[in-house]
Amino acid sequence: MTALTDRMTAALKEYRAWQEPLLTDLHRHPELSMREERTRRIIAAQLAEFGYEVQQIGGGVVGVLSRGEGPTVLLRADMDGLPVQEASGLPYASVHSQQDADGTLQPTMHACGHDFHMVAALGAARLLAEHRGDWSGTFIALFQPGEETAAGAAAMVADGLIDKIPTPDAYLGQHVLTSPAAGKVAVAPGPVLSSSVSMRVRVHGAGSHGSMPHLGVDPVVLAAAIVTRIQTLVAREIAPGDFGVVTVGALHAGTSANIIPDQAELALNFRAYSEEILDHLVEGVQRMVRAECEAARSPKEPEFELFNRYPVTDNDPQLAAQVREAFIAQFGPERVEHMDPVTASEDFSTIPDAFGVPYCYWGFGGYAQGREAAPNHSPLWAPDLQPSLSTGTEAAASAAFALLGRG
């Protein structure tokens, strides 16, 4: 597998003077999921400037550059920020707030590093455009909205993406992470990100005075029993070698010390590396909630609502091996690590699964070795601008270049 040509690697060094102010500008102006208007405008203008055929699809932007016969390689970046009040102390910290879907003004922050993904992908797109004589085939740069709410990739598919762009032979994407260290990349075959789903549960009791519990059905005790009972799901129903997480992230009931309320609400999150295990966990919670409701004499059936389902990210082994080889050629083996599966989730695989094509998703480092790393989504998230940005750019460009045809 070939690395980038020396001319290309030299060009990437010169791009830093363009990329760094672009990143700090995007970092100052993060936008919420499915509301990435300014971001989309900037990306569309850049791609057009590089000579890409640009389309806006389902809230995202796609640039296509065709160089005749050869493989079609797609590189995906996500565009959204989060409703987080930035506390990073960075000189280019967010100054932006934005109304969410309910009309509430929210502080916004690129707390997941999607600004790095966009600028790295634009760097790769520019490099391939400016050195278009060095490769053949078709390169597609895809910028998707709404990753953080699992809405964006599905919105692009719903808007006809599959029929609007050439079918890729390889679908690539990356994420800046707290591990490996800045300057390094990490890739692996098989599952690298978990599937995930969230669930709201409402259980019913019968209200009463706090002094007369025997006249009511206490949903607080019922909810508490549910929380402890479902801890046995992963411990007793999932094989010890398999991975699963069930977390109760919210539990609400009642208003006062001396009133037994008439209902309780729980919000749960599930993670697994296979859809079968995820489904088992969801079904298991529903089964246990129903049983606890019956045990508590609950007067009404419990209600369940599933939301924010993310598919598993399960790298194609052959494509992951090709990407790894390209990274070793580009970076040297000491800068290429094995990516351990991450328990976070992504809607990355939604689009390649809709096309039915292989994909590979890898990580690149955001924090210098030994530096205390604030995790993704933290208000303190602050990856080192360099070498993180140049590593992400080089990773994206070298993987794409290696998979395209030669000149």
- CB of 330 vs Zn ion, minimal distance in Å: 23
Choice between 116 and 401, CB closer to Zn ion: 116
* 180-239 positions binding Zn ion, by CB under 5 A: none
Is residue 319 within 8 Å of 171, Cβ to Cβ?
no
The CA–CA distances, whole Å, from 206 to 219, 229, 291, 303 equal: 8, 21, 17, 16
Size of the residue set binding Zn ion (CB under 5 A)? 1
Query: Buried b / exposed e across 138-169, counting CB within 10 Å, b at 16+?
Result: bbbbbbbbbbbbbbbbbbbbebebeeebeebb
237-257 exposure pattern, b = at least 16 Cβ within 10 A, e = fewer: ebeeeebbebebeebebbeee
Structure tokens at 166: 């050439």
Query: In the bound complex, which residue of the shown chain has the CB atom lying closest to Zn ion?
Result: 112
Nearer to Zn ion, 72 or 195 (CB): 195
Quick one: angle between helices 385-403 and 317-331, nearest 10? 120
Q: Check residue 32 for interaction with Zn ion (CB under 5 A).
A: no
Complex with Zn ion: residue 72 or 345, whichever CB lies closer: 345
Looking at the Cβ atoms of 173 and 216, the one nearer to Zn ion is: 173
Q: Which is nearer to Zn ion, 31 or 262 (CB)?
A: 31
Q: C-beta of 386: minimal distance to Zn ion in Å? A: 20
Q: Could you check whether the bond before residue 387 is cis, i.e. omega within 30 degrees of 0?
A: yes
Cis omega (within 30 of 0) on the bond before 180? yes
CB of 112 to Zn ion, least distance (A): 3
Q: What are phi and psi of 290, to 5 degrees?
A: -60, -45
Q: Min. distance of Cβ 193 from Zn ion in angstroms? A: 10
Min dist CB 45 to Zn ion, Å, is 24
Residue 114 CB, nearest approach to Zn ion (Å) = 6
65 near 99, Cβ under 8 Å?
no
Name the residue nearer to Zn ion (CB basis): 129 or 142.
142
Pattern 103-142, Zn ion, x by CB under 5 A: ---------x------------------------------
Place of tokens 């091996």: 321
Residues engaged in binding Zn ion (CB under 5 A): 112
